[in-house]
Amino acid sequence: MEEQSKAFLKRYMETISPAGFEAEAARVWREEAAKFAARTWTDLHGNSFALVNEGGSPRVMLAGHTDEIGLMVTYIDDNGFLFFRGIGGWDPQILPGQRVWIRTKSGRLTGVIGRKPIHLLEEEERKKVVKLEDLWIDIGAKDKKEAEEVVSVGDPVVLAYNFEELQNGLAVGRGFDDKCGAFVVLETARLLSKLKPKAEVYAVATVQEEVGLRGARTSAFGIDPKVGIAVDVGFACDTPGMEAERKKVGDLRVGKGPIITRGPNINEKVFALLVETAKEKGIPYQLEGYPQATGTDANAIQLTRAGVATGLISVPNRYMHSPCEVVSLEDLENAAKLLAYAVERIDDSNDFVPF
């Protein structure tokens, strides 16, 4: 991966952006987009846009959601401890003992998630699944008044993890679901700005995917694209204990290329275009059969207005919805190349009516 792109990815991954609180990530994304896009802007919902080849035809939308899962402060007790609820889908077992960053009106504040020590848990308590309501955040405040001087009810929280590189071109970070998708669509737009697309291309960093695909609905309605392709993460099944899952979702592996999805959520001609492009350009890819509506922005895009010819590319991701999601930097590059070369082939002569 080029150093400019890697530096952007690192900076982008270090932002705090739970669903509904995406401003910090959106600003970084738009700043990068402004280096090459014809225009950038934000809509009333908070979706960020970068336009390439303004005035071209047809309209093509590329979407990756910029929001991540997180927590929200909902109560401060008399002793200054913060209680919280989840933003998006959490496995609560991940949370005890984690450091957190709270985004307050004055900036980023560190805290820790506390729980009764295992030594003091009764035998029956040890057997129980941890619940969010059994946990709290400790910021070191001596009482409620002191806590309320720095934290407010409604402040968003994330686990305190940043981007780091691992061996063999892999990277770990909090929020690759789905900052890596929003990264890919912007890298695709960067590539297209140097190619000669016929289409008018909208790269979109959508908001609030983790709480109901909300930003994809509003942004797709506004753009009214002919073709819409979402980029999200997919379940890598190359770790221990995933044998049964391979039979459900496929033998999907980190570093083996982007995943191209096929199913009722996907336009067959868009799927064929992506596969043909990958073969023609020698880009490695993996196939996923998804026989129902996907839980991605592709679902919302497909159902916009009178319908959109929709595709879905996913980046294989280990340990999804944890603070240590692992992806391959090469998969990110290949996803962007695949999308750029596929979009370059789209013009007004393409008929995406499925049959």
pLDDT digits (tens, 9 = 90+) for 297-308: 999 999 999 999
Number of structural domains (the chain) is 2
Residue 170 pLDDT level (bands cut at 50, 70, 90) = very high
Full-model pTM:
0.96
Q: Does residue 14 sit in the same domain as residue 84?
A: no
> Is 349 part of a structural domain of the chain?
no
Q: In what order do the strands lie in the sheet with 286-289?
A: 39-42, 48-52, 200-206, 59-65, 227-235, 309-317, 259-262, 286-289
φ, ψ dihedrals at 304, nearest 5°: -80, 140
CA dist., res. 149 & res. 157, Å (int): 17
Quick check: helix, strand or coil at residue 334?
Answer: helix
pLDDT for 121 equals 83
Q: Give tens-digit pLDDT for 124-136.
A: 888 888 999 999 9
pLDDT in tens, 12-37: 999 999 999 999 999 999 999 999 99
Q: Which of 68, 209, 288, 333 is catalytic?
A: 209
Instruction: Check whether residue 320 and residue 185 sit in a common domain.
Output: yes
pLDDT classification of 197: cutoffs 50, 70, 90: very high
**Region 140-152: what's the mean pLDDT?**
98
Q: Are residues 191 and 290 in the same domain?
A: yes
> How far is the C-alpha of 121 from the C-alpha of 186, rounded, in Å?
49
Based on the domain organization, do 116 and 209 belong to the same domain?
A: no
Based on the fold, state whether residues 81 and 62 are members of the same structural domain. no
Q: Residue 120: its pLDDT value, please?
A: 82
User: Is residue 95 in some structural domain?
Assistant: yes
Predicted confidence (pLDDT) per residue in 111-125, tens digit: 999 988 888 888 888
Contact call for residues 111 and 73 (beta carbons, < 8 A): no
Q: Please give the pLDDT value at position 236.
A: 97
Last residue of a domain, one of 108, 126, 159: 159
Considering the domain boundaries, does residue 14 fall inside one?
yes
Query: Domain check: are 153 and 185 in the same one?
Result: no
209 catalytic? Reply is yes
Encode 46-71 in three state secondary structure.
CCEEEEECCCCCCEEEEEEECCECEE
pLDDT of residue 251: 96
Are 74 and 35 in the same domain? no
On whether the CB atoms of residues 296 and 269 are closer than 8 A, the answer is no
CATH code for the domain of 146:
2.40.30.40
Note whether residue 115 is domain-resident: yes
- pLDDT, tens only, 67-110: 999 999 999 999 999 999 999 999 999 999 999 999 999 999 99
Q: Does the pLDDT of residue 325 top 90, yes or no? A: yes
Q: How far is CA 239 from CA 177, 234, 310, in A?
A: 18, 14, 30
Question: Average pLDDT, whole number, for the chain?
Answer: 97
Average pLDDT, stretch 265-280? 98
pLDDT at 127: 82
Domain end marker among 118, 134, 159: 159
Boundary residue ending a domain (136, 159, 182): 159
286 & 140 share domain = no
pLDDT for position 228: 98
**In the β-sheet with 164-165, what is the strand arrangement from edge to edge?**
164-165, 170-173, 325-328
In the chain, % of residues over pLDDT 90? 95
What is the reported pLDDT for 76? 98
Backbone angles phi, psi at 281, to 5 degrees: -95, 0
Same domain, 54 and 77: no
CA 32 – CA 50 distance, rounded (Å)? 10
Residues of the domain holding 100: 70-159
More confident residue, 126 or 335: 335
